């Protein structure tokens, strides 16, 4: 699977061939630090002074490299696919090898950092349900009032959580139809593209 880099990312990465390989390696270290601790303008300003360029150019270069490494790590692309993705940028053979080495050295750490940044949402464990029907009351002798009670068991951080929901069958049917419609929409090409870009 090849990475699809936008023109903006290609422009950001275009700065890399203009600097020495040790600087590119340092940019790789800064990119991993960027993921770990966030942006640090002082680092960009110091590097900009040393290289006699604007700090925006340095920041864009680091952000472009960060994007390249994170997307490659997220998709766990192979060495060959990474080389093919970078080959499109038109860099020298030496720079391509350096970027590949940066990717191979840091992909496990980047995946660990990205997994820590991901929100920890509850996950489904089990479901119990019950249908209750009220046939009559003191004031109304003939009445049919159905209700569905759902007990949803969830897991989050190893803890078990329980949610009790109650609704009428018409609302539950509407909810099921909306969920089925959402699942069908996920099969469209547009949604597949969006999901691919989110990952």
Q: Is 40 in a helix, a strand, or coil?
A: coil
DSSP string, 78-129: -HHHHHHHHHTTT--HHHHHHHHHHHHHHHHHHHHHHHHHS----EEEEEEE
Same domain, 151 and 187: yes
Which of these three, 82, 117, 152, is where a domain ends?
117
Name which residue leads in pLDDT, 95 or 128: 128
Same domain, 103 and 143: no
Same domain, 24 and 62: yes
Which of these three, 84, 117, 150, is where a domain ends?
117
Would strands 159-167 and 145-156 be described as parallel, antiparallel, or unpaired? antiparallel
Same domain, 100 and 146: no
Same domain, 109 and 130: no
Residue/partner pairs of 112-115 with CB below 8 Å, 24 or more apart? 113/32, 113/35, 113/36, 114/35, 114/70, 114/73, 114/74
Same domain, 16 and 60: yes
Same domain, 28 and 96: yes
Structure confidence by residue, pLDDT tens digits, 38-74: 777 788 788 778 877 888 888 888 888 888 888 888 8
Q: State how many domains the chain has.
A: 2
Which of these three, 99, 117, 135, is where a domain ends?
117
Same domain, 97 and 160: no
Q: What is the pTM of this model?
A: 0.59
Count how many Cα atoms sit within 13 Å of the Cα of residue 5 in the half-sphere of its side chain: 26
Structure confidence by residue, pLDDT tens digits, 131-166: 999 888 878 778 888 999 999 999 988 889 999 999
Checking if the pLDDT of 6 tops 80, the result is: no
Residue 72 sits in which domain range? 7-117
Structure confidence by residue, pLDDT tens digits, 9-47: 778 777 777 777 788 788 888 888 888 887 777 887 887
């Amino acid at each position: 699977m090849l990475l699809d880099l936008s023109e903006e990312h290609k422009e950001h990465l275009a700065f890399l061939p203009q600097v020495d390989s040790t600087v590119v390696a340092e940019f790789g270290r800064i990119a991993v630090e960027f993921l770990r601790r966030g942006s640090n303008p002082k680092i960009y300003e110091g590097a900009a002074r040393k290289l006699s360029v604007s700090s925006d150019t340095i920041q864009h270069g680091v952000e472009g490299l960060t994007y390249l490494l994170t997307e490659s790590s997220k998709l766990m692309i192979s060495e060959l696919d990474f080389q093919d993705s970078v080959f499109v940028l038109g860099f020298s053979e030496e720079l391509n090898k350096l970027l590949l080495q940066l990717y191979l050295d840091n992909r496990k750490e980047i995946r660990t950092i990205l997994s820590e940044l991901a929100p920890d949402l509850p996950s489904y464990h089990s479901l119990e349900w019950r249908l209750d029907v009220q046939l009559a009351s003191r004031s109304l002798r003939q009445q049919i009032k159905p209700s569905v009670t759902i007990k949803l068991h969830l897991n989050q951080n190893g803890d078990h959580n329980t949610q009790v929901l109650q609704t009428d069958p018409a609302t539950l049917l509407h909810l099921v139809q909306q969920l089925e419609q959402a699942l069908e929409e996920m099969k469209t090409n547009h949604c597949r593209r969006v999901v691919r870009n989110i990952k």
